Structure 1
Amino acid sequence: MFAAETPEALVMGAPQLVSPPVAVARISTVLEREDFTIGEVAEAIGQDPALAARLLKIVNSSYYGLSGRIETITRAVGMVGADALYGLALTTSVIHGFRNIPACLVNMNDFWLNSLYCGVIARLLAKEASVLHSERLFVAGLLHRIGALIIYMRLPDKAREILLVAAGDDRLIPGLEKELLGFTYAEIGAALAKAWKMPSALREGIRWHLEPERAEDYRLEASLLYLANQLKTVSLLGFPIQDVLRAIPDEVASAIRLDETQIINVMSKATEKLSDTAAVFMPDVYVRH
C-alpha cells in the first residue's frame, strides 16, 4: 500500500537520503558564509580523499580543458570556482551514493548516461544562450531525475507498474506518476534538493523542468533544463529533433531565445561530448562490465 502522501513524506521516510553526503554538507556549510576563503573550501573537500581525487581528475580532464596540470584542491578551487566545484562534488557524490537500486527496475549505467546526456545538452544550451556560470546547468541536468531513484528505492512495485506501462517511452512517465502517485519525480527531486540545502537555482530547475512556464524564479534555468530533457529524450528514442522544436511552448522559446540552427548545433556538439564526459564522471562500476 502506498503510504507517502507527499513528495516530502516520501523523502523524509528514507533517513539515509534526508542528509546529503558528509563531504557535500561540509562544503555547503562553508559556502553559506559570505566571508569563506578558498582555503576553507579546499580543506572541506580535502577531508574526503576519494572525493578530492575524483575532483582533481575532472578538473584535469578534457571536460574543462585547462592549460597546465592542477595538482592541488586549493588550486582547483581558484581556477574553477567554489560554486562550480561544489556542483561537481555534489554530482560525483550522488552518482556514487545511489547504488542499491533493484536491477530489475533500472540499469544504473543507462540511467546515469541518460542523465549525463541531459547535463551536457543543458550546459551547451546555456553557453549558446550566453548564460553566466553554465556549469550549474550541467549539474541540474545530471540531477534532474534524481527523484525517480527515490521512487525506485521506496516504491519499487509502483515504479515497476509505471515503467511497464511507459514501455520505454520516458515522455509518458510524468503523467503516469501523477496518476498513480499523485506527484512526479520532479517534485520528489525538489524535495530532496531542499533537504540537502542545494542552491535555489538548482532546486527550482529540478522542480519545474517539466513545466517551466510555472516557475516564478529561475524560469530561464527551468526552461533550459526542460529543453535539454526533451532533446535528450527524443534523441535517445530516435525521433527527429524537429519534433521537439515544433512543440516548444512560447514561454520557453521566449526565455531561452535560441533559434533552430543554434539548437541543432548544440545537439551535434552534445553527441561528441557525451562519451568524453561519461569517461570522466561515470564510476567504473557503471561504465564497465
Structure 2
Amino acid sequence: MEARGSKVKYPLLFEGLSEKDVISLYNTGKLIKIRKGDVLIKEGDEDKTLYFIINGVVKVLKNIDGKQQEIATIKRDSWVGEIAFLKESKRTATIVADEDTNLLSLDERAIRSVKPEILLIIFKQLSTIATLRINEIIRLEIMSQKRTKSLMLKLKSAVTSYDKLYEHNEHILNVLNKIPMLPAYTNTLITMLASEKTAVTDVVELVKSDPSLAAIVLKTVNSAYYNLKNKISDIHHAILFLGFNQLYQIIVDSGIKKCMPNRAEFTEILNEANALSILGLEISISTKRGHSALIGTVGLLSKIGKSIQLLLEIQNPKFKLFLSYLNHYQLGAMLLKKWGLPEIIHESVYYLCYPDFATPDEIPATFRDNIAVLYIAETYYRYLKNNSDEHPQSAFTDMYMNCLSITENSPVEFVNKKILPLLNKKLHIYPEAFRQLFVTS
C-alpha cells in the first residue's frame, strides 16, 4: 500500500475493505516473492491455492501438442489460480514469473478462515475477472476466425484461380488427348454406379452376361494382385467370394489400367486409389453417410490426375518441380469429363482438393458427405503409409468429422475403432497391396 498525505492507496484486492480487514487478510494469507523464471503453478497439479499479484508479471503457459506455449500474461492487481479454486479441478495451465513478483497466497485453510464479508468481495472480483477474460477470449476468437477466413480465401484462390487456364494449356491438353478412352464396359459400369437407382443385381447380371467381363474378373482374382492360395475357376464362385463392392472395383480398376502405362509408379498410384476406395466405402457404410457405391467409384478414380501429372513429368523432366504444384484433382476431373463420365463423378474428383483449404460448407451439398468420407479415408491412408504413431490432421479435420457425426478424437481413432474390426474379418477378399498396408503398419 502507498501513503499520500492522509489517504492510503490499496491494491485492487483491498477496495471496499476497511484497514482492519486488510490487516486481517494479510495475517490470514501468506506474502511470497518469486524470481523471474520461477514456476508458481504447474499444469495438472491438484493444489487449490489462490494467488493475488501485488506487483510483478506472470506468464500463462499451456501444454499444446506436447509443447509449452505462452497463451497470456497477467499483471498486478489480478488473481491467478482461480479456475482450480472455483471448479475443484486440476490446474489448467502453468504459471511462471516473467519478472520478480510479489503475491498474496491464500490456501484452502486460509480461505476457510476468511470472514464472510471479505470472501464475498473476493468472489465478486473473481466474477469480474472471469467476465473480462471471457470477453478477451471472444475477441481473440473473432480475430482468429477473421484471419482463418482470409487465409482460406487466399489459399482457395491460389489453388482454384488457374482452373480455367488448365483447360487451355497446350501441354496438358496434348497429354489428355493421348490417353486412351476407358473401355466401354468400364464407362457403362461407372455410369450405372453413379445412379442411386442401380441395384446390385443389375451389376452382377452385367458381369455374368458379358464373357469379357467375367474373364477380367477371373483373371484378376487369380493373379498376384490378390495372391490367393486357392484358385477360383468360375464367375459364380468369384462373385460369391468377392462380393458386390470388390466385383465392381476389379472392373473399374481394370479399365483404368488399360489407359495408363504399365510402370511401377503408375501401379503405386492405382494401389493408393484402390485403398481409398475400400476405406471410403466402409466408412460410408459405417456412418450411413454418402452414396457408398459412388464413393467407392470416385475413390478408384481419385488419383487419376496424379497419373496425368506423372505423364507430364516424364515428358518434361526439366519442369518436374513446377509440375509437382499442379492440382492433380483438376487434371483428373478434366480427363473424366473428356471420357464422358457423369458430372457427379468428375465434379466429385475435383472437390477432393477442398478439405485442405476449405470447410465442408464451401463444398456443394450434393458432394459434401462423399468428399468428407473420402477425406477421412485419405487421412487414415496417410497414417498407414507413414507407419507412425502420429495422427495426421489438417485445420478442418474436426469439421469434416462433425459432418459425418464422428465423435472420436481423430480419423485414425475412428477407423481403428469402427472400421478396422470390419476390415479384418474380410481382409482376404482385398488385393494383396491393400492387405500389406495392415501387415507393415
Q: TM-score range by the shorter chain?
A: 0.5 to 0.7
TM-superposed CA distance for 1:56, in Å, is 7.5
Q: Rate the CA distance shift 1:114–1:32 in 2: closer, same or farther, 3 A.
A: closer
Query: What amino acid is aligned across from residue 21 of structure 1 in structure 2?
Result: P
Structure 1 residues 27 and 139: alpha-carbon distance in aligned structure 2, compared to 1, 3 A threshold: closer
Task: Determine whether 1:262 maps to 2:262.
Answer: no
The question of whether the paired residues in 2 share the 8 Å contact of 1:18 and 1:192 is answered with no
How far residue 189 of structure 1 moved from its aligned partner, in angstroms, is: 0.9
CA contact (8 A) 1:126 1:224 kept: yes
How many residue pairs align between the two structures? 248
For the structure 1 residues 96 and 276, does the alpha-carbon distance in structure 2 shift closer, same or farther, using more than 3 Å as the test?
farther
Deviates more, 1:256-265 or 1:5-14: 5-14
Is the counterpart of residue 210 in structure 1 residue 210 in structure 2? no
- Kindly report the root-mean-square deviation, in angstroms, between the aligned alpha carbons of the 2 structures: 4.6
The aligned runs of 1:30-41 (5 Å cut-off) are: 38=202, 41=206
TM superposition shift of 1:153: 1.3
Return 5+ residue gaps in structure 2 as ranges.
1-163, 227-231, 436-441
Quick one: which of 51, 65, 79 aligns to 2:216?
Answer: 51
CA distance in 1, matches of 2:386, 2:258: 27
TM-score of the two chains, using structure 2 as the length reference: 0.44
Partner Cα separation in structure 1 for residue 198 and residue 391 of structure 2: 48
Return the alpha-carbon distance in structure 2 between the equivalents of residues 158 and 192 of structure 1: 24
Partner of 1:168: none
- Give the direction of change, closer, same or farther, for the CA distance of 1:208–1:159 in structure 2 (3 Å limit): farther
1:14 aligns with 2:157: no
Partner residue in 1 for 2:386: 237
What displacement does 1:188 show?
0.7
Change (3 A) 1:120 1:269: farther
- Kindly, what percent of the aligned residue pairs are identical? 16
Larger RCO (CA under 8 A, 6+ residues apart): 1
Match for 2:321 among 151, 155, 161? 161
Shift of 1:220: 0.6
Q: Report the residue type matching 1:195 in the other structure.
A: K
- CA gap of 1:161–1:87, structure 2 versus 1, over 3 A, is same
Partner of 2:251: 89
- Cα distance in 2 for residues equivalent to 1:19 and 1:134: 25
Higher mean C-alpha deviation, range 113-122 or range 152-161: 152-161
Report the CA distance between 1:18 and its aligned residue: 5.7
- Within 5 Å, give how 1:1-289 maps onto structure 2: 5-7=165-167, 10-11=172-173, 13-17=175-179, 19-25=181-187, 27=189, 38=202, 41-42=206-207, 45-48=210-213, 50-54=215-219, 71-72=234-235, 88-101=250-263, 107-131=265-289, 133-156=291-314, 157=317, 160-161=320-321, 176-177=325-326, 184-212=327-355, 213=360, 214-216=362-364, 217-240=366-389, 242-244=391-393, 247-260=395-408, 261-266=413-418, 268-269=420-421, 272=424, 276-279=429-432
User: Quick check: which one's strand share is greater?
Assistant: 2
TM value normalised by structure 1: 0.63
Q: Please report how far the alpha carbon of residue 143 of structure 1 lies from its aligned counterpart in structure 2 after TM superposition.
A: 2.3
1:238 aligned partner, one-letter code: N
CA deviation digits over 1:168-190, x for unaligned, max 9? xxxxx6xx33xxxxxx0001111
